[in-house]
């Protein structure tokens, strides 16, 4: 849904009306989009469009009631090569053979991918990975068994096959046959049963002539790890997902750039799916309602879905770097409001109005002027203090010179 974005239209009233339909309908648009986005992996997906007539503002209008996903395993299609897809058949209906119960394609959101012959069933990528999924299930099962064997080891019981033992009940009394004779069994058979019950009893009582030993079992865990890693990679490739997409930042051989390139390829593929879903919603849902309720034409445009770039951290970072580089190269002035708003939006900061921007500039100018005034005042105080200290020193020197130039009365200078 983040890739698709929100509906927008040049006419604000139309944009508000369409968004209100999506908000008021039963269920959510995100659920329908999620169902349609499964088309590459299951071949094709369908969502039924349900409308309802209402009266608003004194006039009758058709509004969207719900977008009901249809289970892919309960869908068949009807049509021809000349006319294409005409109806969708819900085989879960009590009477699916009745053509009156078929859903016309005008009331359906249909997305299919991967078909080269125009088949509405598409080609499911999940078909490619079925052998690998089954192989992984077997590997996981064997890995669990191998881990259990490694932890518990192998018990080896030895008993004499020519010897027979009497069977005892829980109280330790001999068991007897219907004719009163004691029940006996081979020593090997009895020891086997005791070993089979070892998991539930956790102890073993046997004849001293029997021999029970424990032998450790080693397991090559590297084999299972490599095999499962290979199968996981094959599953991702079978689904059209590059292997390094989920290894970004974790590579030990400098493959981060390659992972980023592969993620870009995946984003491109997801963008194609999002475009097909958008075309279906605009053409099958929005367009009929705008024609019926408002009389719009293609010249008025049907609107579109605008993706929110800031919802994807990687895309947001890429756009932010491009904007900052354009501002640094003075391709876009740093004072341009649209550039400033775009940067704030990518940083998830609230958009400020022109008045708020001017107030911010005025406050910054006032703060700068106050700082300059404070600095100048401090400089003047320092200069005045230095001048006062200099004047005091000069006055003190003059007083000392005058004191040295005066002589006592009656003293004659020496010849």
CA distances from 272 to 57, 170, 265, 303, 305 (A): 39, 71, 11, 18, 14
Q: What is the pLDDT of residues 194-215, one digit of tens each?
A: 887 777 777 777 778 888 887 8
What confidence score (pLDDT) does residue 2 get? 61
E strands, 131-270, where? 154-158, 164-166, 184-186, 211-215
**Residue 164 near residue 184, CB atoms below 8 Å:** yes
Task: Give me the chain's average pLDDT, please.
Answer: 83
What confidence score (pLDDT) does residue 8 get? 92
Q: What mean pLDDT is predicted for residues 318-331?
A: 79
Q: What is the pLDDT of residues 221-276, one digit of tens each?
A: 788 888 998 999 899 888 888 777 665 545 554 555 666 666 667 777 778 888 89
Find the range with the poorest average confidence among 75-89, 342-356, 387-401: 342-356
Could you tell me whether strands 84-90 and 103-104 are parallel, antiparallel, or unpaired per DSSP bridges? antiparallel
Q: What is the pLDDT of residues 117-173, one digit of tens each?
A: 888 999 898 898 999 999 999 999 988 888 877 877 777 888 888 888 878 777 778
Strand pairing partners for 108?
48
Phi/psi for 47 (5° steps) reads -135, 130
Give, rounded to a whole angstrom, the gap between the first and last alpha carbons of the chain: 116
Find the range with the poorest average confidence among 26-35, 295-304, 343-352, 378-387: 343-352
Query: Tokens 């986005």 appear where?
Result: 37
Q: What is the pLDDT of residues 28-76, one digit of tens each?
A: 999 999 999 999 889 999 999 999 999 887 788 999 999 999 999 899 9
Q: What mean pLDDT is predicted for residues 3-26?
A: 91
Find the range with the poorest average confidence among 83-92, 227-236, 248-257, 290-299: 248-257
Q: Which residue has the higher pLDDT, 8 or 175?
A: 8
What confidence score (pLDDT) does residue 202 get? 73
Whether 297 has a pLDDT exceeding 80, the answer reads yes
Structure tokens at 232: 């996981």
Whether 381 has a pLDDT exceeding 80, the answer reads yes
Which run of H or of E encompasses 84? strand 84-90
Structure tokens at 413: 């200078």
Q: What is the pLDDT of residues 22-33, one digit of tens each?
A: 999 999 999 999
Structure tokens at 331: 């391709």
Percent pLDDT > 90 in the chain is 29
Give the separation between CA 223 and CA 229, rounded to whole angstroms: 10
Predicted confidence band of residue 415 (pLDDT cuts 50, 70, 90): very low
């Amino acid at each position: 849904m983040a890739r698709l974005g929100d509906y927008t239209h040049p006419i604000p009233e139309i944009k508000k009306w369409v968004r209100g339909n999506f908000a008021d309908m039963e269920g959510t648009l995100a659920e329908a989009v999620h169902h349609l986005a499964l088309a590459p992996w299951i071949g094709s997906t369908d969502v039924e469009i349900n409308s309802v007539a209402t009266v608003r503002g004194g006039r009758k209008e058709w509004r969207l009631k719900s977008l009901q996903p249809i289970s892919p395993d309960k869908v068949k299609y009807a049509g021809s090569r000349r006319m294409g897809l005409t109806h969708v058949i819900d085989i879960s209906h009590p009477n699916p053979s009745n053509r009156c119960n078929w859903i016309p394609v005008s009331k359906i959101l249909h997305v299919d991918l991967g078909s080269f012959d125009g088949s509405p069933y598409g080609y499911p990528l999940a078909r490619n990975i079925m052998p690998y999924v089954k192989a992984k299930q077997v590997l996981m099962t064997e890995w669990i068994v191998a881990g259990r064997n490694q932890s518990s080891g192998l018990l080896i019981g030895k008993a004499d096959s020519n010897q027979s033992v009497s069977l005892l009940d829980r109280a330790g009394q001999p068991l007897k046959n219907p004719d009163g004779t004691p029940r006996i069994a081979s020593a090997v058979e009895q020891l086997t049963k005791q070993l089979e019950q070892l998991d539930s009893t956790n102890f073993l009582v046997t004849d001293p002539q029997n021999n029970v030993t424990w032998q450790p079992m080693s397991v090559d865990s590297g084999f299972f790890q490599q095999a499962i890693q290979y199968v996981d990679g094959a599953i991702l490739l079978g689904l059209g997902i590059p292997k390094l997409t989920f290894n970004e930042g974790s590579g030990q051989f400098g493959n981060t750039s390659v992972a980023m390139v592969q993620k870009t390829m995946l984003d491109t593929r997801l963008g194609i799916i999002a475009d097909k879903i958008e075309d279906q919603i605009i053409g099958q849902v929005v367009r009929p309602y705008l024609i019926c309720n408002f009389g719009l034409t293609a010249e008025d445009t049907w609107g579109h879905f605008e993706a929110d770039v800031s919802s994807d951290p990687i895309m947001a970072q890429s756009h932010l770097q491009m904007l900052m580089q354009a501002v640094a190269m003075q391709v876009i002035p740093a004072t341009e409001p649209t550039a400033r708003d775009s940067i704030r939006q990518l940083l998830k900061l609230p958009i400020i109005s022109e008045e708020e921007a001017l107030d911010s500039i005025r406050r910054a100018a006032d703060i700068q002027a106050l700082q300059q005034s404070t600095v100048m005042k401090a400089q003047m105080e320092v200069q005045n203090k230095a001048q006062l200290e200099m004047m005091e020193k000069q006055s003190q020197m003059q007083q000392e010179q005058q004191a040295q130039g005066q002589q006592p009365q009656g003293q004659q200078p020496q010849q």
